[in-house]
Amino acid sequence: MILSDQNNFGLQCQGVSHWFGETKVLFDLNLNVHAGQFVALIGPSGCGKSTLLRAILGTHPPHRGKILTLQNGRLANADRPGRDRGIVYQKYSLYPFLTALDNVALGLKFDQTTTAFRWLNWAGWGKKRREFRDRAAAFLDKVGLGQAMHLYPSQMSGGMQQRVAIAQALIMEPEIILLDEPFGALDEATREELQEMLLQFYEENKEAMAEGEKPPYTLIIVTHELNEAIRVGDRLVGLSQYWDWKADGHDRSPGATVVYDKPAPVFRPDERPDYELFADIRREIRQVVYNPEVLQRRDEHVNLNPTS
Amino acid sequence: MIRRPITRSWAVVLGCLSVLLLLAGYTWVSHRQHQVNPDDTTIPNWSQLYEGVKKFTQPDRKEERWIVEDSIATGRRLFFGLGLGVVFGFAIGMMMGCITPIEAFLQPPILLLAKVPQTAALAVYFVFFGTGMEMYVAMIAFGIIPALAVTVHLAIKDLPSEMLDKAYTLGASHFEVAAEVVLKQILPKFIDAVRLAIGPAIVFLIAAEMVVGDVGFGYRIRLQFKLTNMNVVYPYLVMLAFFGFALDYGLRFLRAKLCPWYQRDSK
């Protein structure tokens, strides 16, 4: 089941272009993400995946085009980072001076109380803090870290740190959560465990959809592992500078754009995909997205109508 | 093998041994000197040192105990000087680290002031602040502010931008990012910087007391040195060393209490 049947966008990128001096990075990029989708963003290194992610995050707005995200119930310009977009980096997501529990509770504290409240209303803040910590503890339990909540990040393994980082972002229930190669530094077994964890959140989306509610988690995951993209994502988006820009009247490469956009197979968390079965998908992606020799029209493999 | 670990008790024994050797060496040098000149006061023997200690712990003709009045005078100057310097050094460093126009505005003077030797600039402080309490406080404060501000500023610039962006995605305000993320992250480095600043602060203070003081450690050391009463000078130096050590130890304790994560991190 693909969770894109509704018309509610969590993210709209409209004609996004970006460049650093002479270096063209992104060109006329259009991408709409529905609430509840798990988008796997793939592409050759240097194609601007991180640039796009930073643009969506709002720390580095694009030079041209618009990025709209859902803010307080309506689509608005994402020109600065805000609580409606969560982010998990490969590292530096956690604050070393806070325990796992307080790292997860931090967002609730920032979002729901003010400095003045915390300084002036000690009793009220004490009560709130207990409540936030209870919620954070419940969330950590859910991601299998009930035992580790009083550890500092430096005392945790890389996999545990990324679990906490994901919990830290998800507890905020952002409209969209961006994962920038979150498992890049982890070993294969740990990666798979964390993929399962993400798929469990996808299950919650399905349940919410089944009851006619808004799915709680929308996600863009950047990865260089095709199998990871296929397993976690329900939609594969390939960003590449290798497309037939000459046909569009450019005399030099204008930058990367979306050249591949197709639904991906969906798996249950406990399901171990047989990656052999997806050789076709991988071959197609390698041709269309990664191969500099094969230049095709930019919309040739874009099967989801971007402006629907 | 390089850096092979040793047991705790062995380390204590070796540490005590070096102190004992130091004391024994002093005793021997002093003994040799008194064989040449029995009335020597430049390298006093232990009974002379005892007399010296008695001299500054017993009331003098004005019914004042030197040790008490010197400690109070020097302690107050150092306390207010350090206090002011720490507060302003931290505040300036935080503002330079967080607010780019202030960074551009303050960087040149701070970098230049950091290079001025405070002891050479003594005369400037006499001119501007006289020779009273204000002068000592101003000199210590101005002496340590540049170094502290630069440390805080650089520590903030070293923070990965991800950590700040992340805080905004968690709904933090600018003030919350500064107070809850930046400040807490650099606090242990700042405490370490204060530990390092105590040495220079004491140097500035003692130097100034030697030149214009009428009470205080620097004044007493200079006066007793002129009278070649080294049996007072040496104990004073030892007390200064212990005082500096105690301050340093206190700050390390404070760091361990305030930043329990930092110890784990550095191990």
**Which range has the top average pLDDT, A13-22, A288-297, B88-97?**
B88-97
Q: pTM higher than 0.95 for the full model? A: no
Chain segment A44-74, per-residue pLDDT in tens: 888 888 889 999 999 988 898 889 888 887 8
Helices (H), B99-182: 100-113, 122-129, 133-158, 161-169, 174-176
Chain segment B25-57, per-residue pLDDT in tens: 999 999 999 999 988 889 999 999 999 999 898
Please report, in angstroms and rounded to a whole number, the separation of the first and last CA atoms in chain A.
18
Pairing state of beta strands A257-263 and A301-302? parallel
Residue A213 φ/ψ, nearest 5 degrees: -100, 170
Which of B166, B175, B262 is the best mutation test for A, with the most CBs of A within 10 A? B166
- In B, which residues are within 8 Å of A114 by CB distance? 173
The two tokens of residue A4 are 């894109």
- Alpha carbon A307 to chain centroid, angstroms: 20
The two tokens of residue B37 are 């000149």
Of A87, A112, A154, the CB nearest to B169: A87
Three-state secondary structure call for residue B239: helix
CA distance B82 to B243: 14
The dihedral formed by the CA atoms of A172, A178, A180 and A183, expressed in degrees to the nearest 10: 60
Q: Percentage of residues in chain A with pLDDT exceeding 90?
A: 27
- Minimum CA–CA partner of B172 in chain A: A110
Amino acid at A34: H
Residue with tokens 């050094």: B89
Higher-confidence residue: A207 or A272? A207
- Minimum CA–CA partner of A171 in chain B: B170
Residue with tokens 């040098």: B29
Chain segment B214-254, per-residue pLDDT in tens: 899 999 999 999 988 899 999 999 999 999 999 999 999 99
pLDDT higher than threshold 50 for residue A268: yes
Which of A91, A110, A150, A179 is the best mutation test for B, with the most CBs of B within 10 A? A110
Tell me whether residues A95 and B184 touch, CB distance under 8 A: yes
Of A82, A92, A112, the CB nearest to B160: A92
CA distance B252 to A254: 56
**A173 touching B (Cβ < 8 Å):** no
- In A, which residues are within 8 Å of B172 by CB distance? 110
Chain segment B153-199, per-residue pLDDT in tens: 999 999 999 999 999 999 899 999 999 999 999 999 999 999 999 99
Alpha-carbon gap: B157 to the closest alpha carbon of chain A (Å): 15
- Minimum CA–CA partner of B185 in chain A: A97
CB atoms under 10 Å from CB of A307, counted, come to 7
Chain segment A119-164, per-residue pLDDT in tens: 999 899 999 999 999 999 999 998 888 888 899 999 999 989 999 9
Helices (H), chain A: 49-57, 100-112, 115-120, 122-142, 158-170, 188-210, 226-232, 279-285
CA distance B33 to A17: 85
Residue with tokens 């004490």: A126
**A57 touching B (Cβ < 8 Å):** yes
Alpha-carbon gap: B96 to the closest alpha carbon of chain A (Å): 21
Burial of B179 (C-beta count, 10 Å sphere; 0-12/13-18/19+): middle
- Minimum CA–CA partner of B179 in chain A: A115
- Max Cα separation, chain B? 78
- Helix (H) or strand (E) run with residue B5 in it: none
The answer to whether the complex's ipTM is over 0.95 is no
Tell me whether residues A154 and B264 touch, CB distance under 8 A: yes
The two tokens of residue B237 are 């130096």
The two tokens of residue A19 are 């460049």
